[in-house]
Amino acid sequence: MAMNSGAELPGSGTGPGSGGADVPAEDERLACGRMLSEVWEAWEDGADDPARDPHLRACPHCSAAVRQLDLLGAAVREAGGGREPEWDAGALTERVMDVVRLELRPGRPLPLGEREEDLWVREAMAAKALRAAAETVPGVRAGSCRIRPAESGGSPSRGPVRVRLEVVVPLTPRLRDLAEEVRRRVRGAADDALGLPVDHVDVHITDVTDPAGADPGGVGAEEGNQP
Amino acid sequence: MTTAATERDALAGTVARAAADVPGVAFLRPGLADLFRPSARTGPPRAAAGRAPAGVRVSRASATGPWEVDVQIVVHRDRHALTVARTVRDAVTTALSATAPGAQVTVTVTNAV
């Protein structure tokens, strides 16, 4: 398929180490050591600016991974044959890309329901639902969301999971209360939308924004971190 | 095609129909990854005819062992993923009760649309 031309990843990072029959599509590590999922996220967040992270531009592995994502996007956009759509194609494009992205990077399987059941949800889908729940808090933007088994042991674990969510929040004197509200909604969505047993939700405030919207860049957020 | 492969594909078809009919299931996992990255898959290409539907995998460890059925579904966004997954498991188990009693059914929700 033409999709592949010029966009092959130079040496897939998943080697013989990923042995398990049913843990195929966990985080894929590129040969340079970066996670493919993180590279894609950084690209979509605009973090490919060389001033912020020169590695993304310079590294052949990272740039090939980004090119692959770009090709997918271009193919989806051009699927309409260049016709001028009579309706907003952007939303549809976004949804198609969403499906494609989750198909390619489904993440690890996480347990749904009771311990003795054999029901699972893929990490990428669960993360999408939890990020959306966090963003129902006004002004909150969700970033990276990692979901891992809370207990180590057999793979894949059937126990409850631990969620680590990064958020950008509006500047407020009550950052802790805001983080608590985010945590509450994430827990609620895990229960009400998914049925995913959650042991712990870590909310990390990575940045704060000016509520007046005067400075979209935000200010330093070190003190916003919540363990 | 061997008899075993025919039986397996017939079971996979039964599973796919039972799962797709469950309310809340948008469709079975489409398997786009296979289209984008054919070289990443190992093993010989499967015969076009009788190919198992994407999102359903049927296997058994031995000729007399229980069948292991793996179903991957995409659910509707407004549905409770766990409830849909349980309903799929029960529907597939029921559909297989005559032809493959005791089958072990695994259900994975891969996406919501």
Q: pLDDT (tens digit, 0 to 9) for every residue of chain A, 227 residues total?
A: 333 333 333 333 333 333 333 334 445 678 888 877 777 777 776 655 656 677 877 888 888 877 777 777 777 666 655 555 566 677 777 777 777 777 677 888 999 999 999 999 999 999 999 999 999 999 999 999 999 988 776 667 888 999 999 999 999 889 999 999 999 999 999 999 999 999 999 999 999 998 765 444 444 443 343 44
Tell me the whole-structure pTM to 2 decimals. Answer: 0.66
For the segment(s) A109-224, the CATH number from 3.90.800.10, 3.30.70.260, 3.30.70.1350, 3.30.450.80 is 3.30.70.1350
Backbone angles phi, psi at A102, to 5 degrees: -70, -25
**Domain-located, residue B68:** yes
- Which residues in chain B are contacts of A120 at CB distance < 8 A? 85, 106-109
Number of domains, chain B: 1
Q: Do B111 and A3 touch (CB under 8 A)?
A: no
The pLDDT of residue A86 is: 60
The pLDDT of residue A107 is: 85
Across chain A, which distance is largest between two alpha carbons, in Å?
54
Rounded to a whole number of angstroms, the distance from the CA of B2 to the nearest CA of chain A is 24
- Which residues in chain B are contacts of A104 at CB distance < 8 A? 32-33, 36-37
- Cα nearest neighbour of A22 on chain B: B70
A-B C-beta contacts closer than 8 Å: 92
Domain that holds residue B29: 3-34+51-112
| All structural domains of chain A with their residue ranges | 25-104, 109-224
**Domain-located, residue B44:** no
Rounded to a whole number of angstroms, the distance from the CA of B68 to the nearest CA of chain A is 11
Label the pairing between strands B67-75 and B104-112: parallel
- Which residues in chain B are contacts of A115 at CB distance < 8 A? none
Verify cis geometry, omega within 30 degrees of 0, for the bond prior to A50: no
**Domain-located, residue B107:** yes
Rounded to a whole number of angstroms, the distance from the CA of B46 to the nearest CA of chain A is 18
Q: pLDDT tens-digit profile of B55-108?
A: 899 998 888 889 999 999 999 999 999 999 999 999 999 999 999 999 999 999
Mean pLDDT of B9-34: 85
A106: nearest CB among B38, B89, B110: B110
Rounded to a whole number of angstroms, the distance from the CA of A23 to the nearest CA of chain B is 12
**Domain-located, residue B43:** no
**Domain-located, residue B23:** yes
CATH code of the domain in which B27 resides? 3.30.70.1350
- Cα nearest neighbour of B76 on chain A: A193
Residue B48 carries which side chain, given as an amino acid letter? A
**What ipTM did this prediction achieve?**
0.82
The pLDDT of residue B89 is: 97
Please state, in angstroms and as integers, the Cα–Cα distance from residue A70 to each residue in A7, A37, A66, A76, A101, following that order.
Answer: 9, 14, 6, 10, 12
- C-alpha–C-alpha distance, residues A158 and B107, integer Å: 14
